[in-house]
Structure 1
């Protein structure tokens, strides 16, 4: 079992969240349980992903639910997403450009590694 704060601090540091300008609001977007046992990973923070990860404590995504001021109003799909996460006590962490740019964990770096590009 790991504390949510420890997971978030590790990701923020490793992915240089505060150093990369991005329209996505990277980092912890919704706070759930304080102790993390199971983490799910997905590309998009959509309701379908949340429903499939209902038994997880945290979801880490590439495309989060908060971009610029997109959560200014909690209506429609934004309300449904946040409501589901809160009701199920699931934390949501997003890393968009920090993950794109990361030389080890980034999507492009992993693609190159898998296909043998340098």
Structure 2
């Protein structure tokens, strides 16, 4: 059994949470029981994930998209109320890291996307590796846009939106951004 504060401190340190200017709170968003035996992870702290955490008897939920975003209403009503009520009623901690999980060079979303698709990471176009959001690299082998889209659909289990220039030829180098692309 580990104390909640130890896990939060370790995640804050490893993900360098304090170095990011984000649109939300990175770290502990809702405190639950202090002693942690089971941690569940997911992308978004939606009601379905919360119900799975309750059924699995999780003590902590670690997500990419938590709550308390800038420019959203501060009132805790409706869907937000139901989600927070579920966490509080079951004494589950909510730990969320948004931009730190997009950028992290080992555990981040960009790093995992490259790993799963077999891309060789060469760097970041907007900062140091582990700080930036726009990554660059090379495909394992040159391929057409159609072949790349098929590979992505197979690995990610969802079809990508493909916007291509006609007759562009095979792709060798690639840049990608899992967050903040707008």
TM-score (norm 1): 0.95
| CA distance in 2: counterparts of 1:85 and 1:97, whole angstroms | 23
Determine the structure 2 residue equivalent to 1:115: 117
Show structure 1 runs of 4+ deviating over 2 A: none
Determine the structure 2 residue equivalent to 1:82: 84
RMSD: 1.1
Deviations 1:24-48 (A, max 9, x none): 2111110001011000011011111
Higher relative contact order (CA 8 A, sep 6+): 1
* Contact 1:40/1:60 (8 A) holds in 2: yes
- The structural deviation recorded for 1:11 is 0.4
Deviations 1:83-116 (A, max 9, x none): 1100000000111110000000001101212222
| CA distance in 1: counterparts of 2:38 and 2:26, whole angstroms | 21
| CA distance in 1: counterparts of 2:87 and 2:73, whole angstroms | 14
| CA distance in 2: counterparts of 1:75 and 1:97, whole angstroms | 26
| Structure having the higher Rg | 2
TM-score (norm 2): 0.62
Superposition map of 1:18-33 within 5 A: 18-33=18-33
Deviates more, 1:28-37 or 1:105-114: 105-114
- The structural deviation recorded for 1:69 is 5.5
More helix by share: 1
Determine the structure 2 residue equivalent to 1:35: 35
Relative to 1, partners in 2 of residues 1:92 and 1:71: Cα closer, same or farther, differing over 3 Å? farther
Flag structure 1 segments of 5+ consecutive residues without an equivalent.
Answer: none
| CA distance in 2: counterparts of 1:80 and 1:52, whole angstroms | 15
SS at the partner of 2:67?
coil
SS at the partner of 1:68?
coil
